[in-house]
């Protein structure tokens, strides 16, 4: 939630009679969160979104349901998500890679636009567009997206994704309940502070409603896939269920481009906390963007060795050079679990001294609860990553010249 937004036509007062141009009474729907205590929006529908005539079970194996990997050794892991097979649309091509009770992290390499709409009742979704472009058709309106955009879709919001080209890669975080702008970036009135790493102007909201179009939306039945408790069901409607004439409120999707994140730089190395971009229950999502590095005359810009005793750290590498890592490529995930220390790869620590810039672009997710790999991630894992901090004899090569 950022601020109240209005799109289309709404009546002067909530909960009063409101008609379309043909004199038909419109159906008001209040989308409320935390009971009636959290942010809410009020939408006005041509057809009540409740007239489904059928609900049937549905599955997308690898997403809902997913399977957990049986490998449980506690170690650093490298998952080559760039090897995931491109297929399907934003829903059928989705494969969950990491899970805990607070967040699920998946990769989608869709090759086609979606016909069905999808609504995730398990929580808010945050996409990161690694490559590709297109638009989101949502009950709250239409959102254009491009490479390196984040897209936030609120929990239980019907939407589907259209691609401009059949090549696209999407990283997606599925929070439990809600995720959004961290509280530390707001003043007590909810406005983003002037020292936050972004401003209200950086968030792009729907400016155009989605109205029913026979050519785009086809003939009945209209299908909506709903996810709840990690199970999917298809809901079928005789009338197009997403024809909204207007809405207002504080629940809606938005787009934010990672290059609009303003990095904070210190005299010496700053903790990853300064990269925090979004926060959910039990996890944060951070943006590492090209920036000046630390400017103390003896600064070591490369991250220090780190025992993150309370958090698992997932890094998703997007492009540029990765100061502390070797053998990692764009679309690689590294998972460094709590319980064991981690640190920069041999040679990178010393090599960083005296550098003035980093061109890395990466998305990090830190979670309080340990993450588990799914079988999808297990199949893409690079064997031996955990041992890449030692030489072939098994000795640490830290601080030695290469």
Question: Which residues of this protein are in contact with Fe ion, per CB under 5 A?
Answer: 306, 313
Query: In this complex, which beta carbon is closest to Fe ion, that of residue 28 or of residue 313?
Result: 313
Q: How far is the CB of 275 from Fe ion (least distance, A)?
A: 11
Q: How far is the CB of 384 from Fe ion (least distance, A)?
A: 21
d(C-alpha 140, C-alpha 151), whole Å: 13
Measure CA of the first residue to CA of the last residue in the chain; give whole Å: 50
Burial of 222 (0-12, 13-18, 19+ CB in 10 A): buried
d(C-alpha 343, C-alpha 389), whole Å: 9
Query: In this complex, which beta carbon is closest to Fe ion, that of residue 46 or of residue 358?
Result: 358
Q: How far is the CB of 283 from Fe ion (least distance, A)?
A: 14
CB contact at 8 A, 269 and 292: no
Using CB positions, name the residue nearest to Fe ion: 306
Instruction: For Cα atoms 134, 139, 143, give the angle at the middle one, nearest 5 degrees.
Output: 25
Q: How far is the CB of 270 from Fe ion (least distance, A)?
A: 13
Q: How far is the CB of 342 from Fe ion (least distance, A)?
A: 6
Query: In this complex, which beta carbon is closest to Fe ion, that of residue 61 or of residue 341?
Result: 341
Q: How far is the CB of 372 from Fe ion (least distance, A)?
A: 19
Query: In this complex, which beta carbon is closest to Fe ion, that of residue 134 or of residue 301?
Result: 301
For 110-173, the DSSP string reads --S--SSEEEETTB-EEEEEEE--EEEEETTEEEEE-TTEEEEE-TT--EEEEESSS--EEEEE
Instruction: For Cα atoms 116, 254, 90, give the angle at the middle one, nearest 5 degrees.
Output: 30
Query: In this complex, which beta carbon is closest to Fe ion, that of residue 294 or of residue 313?
Result: 313
Q: How far is the CB of 313 from Fe ion (least distance, A)?
A: 5
Query: In this complex, which beta carbon is closest to Fe ion, that of residue 223 or of residue 313?
Result: 313
Q: How far is the CB of 337 from Fe ion (least distance, A)?
A: 11
For 282-318, the DSSP string reads TEEEEEE-SEE---STT---SPPPB--TT-EEEEEEE
φ, ψ at 274 (rounded to 5°)? -70, -15
Query: In this complex, which beta carbon is closest to Fe ion, that of residue 102 or of residue 313?
Result: 313
d(C-alpha 222, C-alpha 272), whole Å: 45
185 three-state secondary structure: helix
Q: How far is the CB of 130 from Fe ion (least distance, A)?
A: 22
Q: List CB contacts of 393: < 8 A, sequence separation 6 or more.
A: none
Query: In this complex, which beta carbon is closest to Fe ion, that of residue 105 or of residue 153?
Result: 105
Query: In this complex, which beta carbon is closest to Fe ion, that of residue 111 or of residue 308?
Result: 308
Q: How far is the CB of 307 from Fe ion (least distance, A)?
A: 9
Cis peptide before 65 (omega within 30 of 0): yes
Query: In this complex, which beta carbon is closest to Fe ion, that of residue 108 or of residue 299?
Result: 299
339 three-state secondary structure: coil
255 three-state secondary structure: strand
Chain centroid, CA 42 distance in Å:
25
């Amino acid at each position: 939630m950022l601020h109240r937004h209005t799109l289309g036509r709404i009546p002067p007062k909530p909960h009063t009679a409101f008609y379309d141009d043909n004199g038909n009474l419109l159906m008001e729907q209040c989308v409320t969160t935390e009971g009636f205590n959290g942010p809410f929006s009020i939408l006005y529908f041509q057809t009540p979104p409740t007239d489904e005539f059928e609900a049937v079970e549905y599955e997308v194996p690898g997403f809902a349901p997913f399977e957990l990997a049986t490998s449980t050794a506690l170690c650093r892991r490298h998952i080559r998500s760039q090897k995931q097979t491109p297929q399907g649309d934003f829903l059928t091509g989705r494969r969950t890679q990491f899970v805990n009770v607070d967040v699920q992290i998946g990769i989608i390499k869709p090759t086609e636009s979606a016909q069905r709409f999808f609504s995730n009742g398990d929580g808010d979704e945050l996409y990161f567009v690694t490559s590709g472009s297109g638009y989101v058709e949502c009950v709250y309106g239409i959102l254009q997206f491009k490479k390196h955009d984040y897209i936030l879709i609120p929990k239980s919001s019907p939407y589907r994704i259209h691609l401009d080209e059949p090549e696209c890669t999407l990283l997606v975080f599925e929070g439990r309940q809600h995720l959004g702008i961290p509280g530390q970036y707001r003043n007590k009135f909810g406005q983003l502070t002037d020292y936050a790493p972004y401003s209200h102007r950086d968030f792009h909201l729907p400016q155009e409603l989605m109205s029913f179009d026979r050519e785009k939306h086809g003939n009945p039945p209209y299908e909506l896939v709903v996810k709840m408790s990690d199970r999917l069901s298809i809901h079928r409607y005789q009338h197009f269920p997403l024809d909204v004439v207007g809405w207002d409120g504080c629940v809606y999707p938005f787009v934010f481009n990672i290059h609009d994140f303003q990095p904070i730089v210190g005299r010496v190395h700053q903790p990853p906390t300064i990269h925090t971009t979004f926060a959910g229950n039990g996890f944060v999502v951070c943006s590492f963007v090209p920036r000046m590095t630390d400017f103390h005359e003896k600064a070591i810009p490369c991250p220090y060795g780190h025992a993150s005793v309370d958090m698992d750290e997932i890094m998703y590498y997007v492009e540029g050079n990765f100061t502390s890592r070797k053998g990692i490529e764009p679309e690689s995930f590294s998972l460094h679990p709590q319980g064991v220390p981690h640190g920069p790869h041999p040679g990178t620590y010393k090599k960083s001294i005296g550098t003035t810039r980093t061109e890395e672009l990466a998305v990090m997710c830190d979670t309080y609860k340990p993450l588990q790999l799914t079988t999808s991630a297990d199949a893409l894992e690079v064997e031996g990553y955990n041992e890449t901090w030692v030489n072939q004899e098994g000795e640490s090569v830290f601080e030695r010249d290469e």
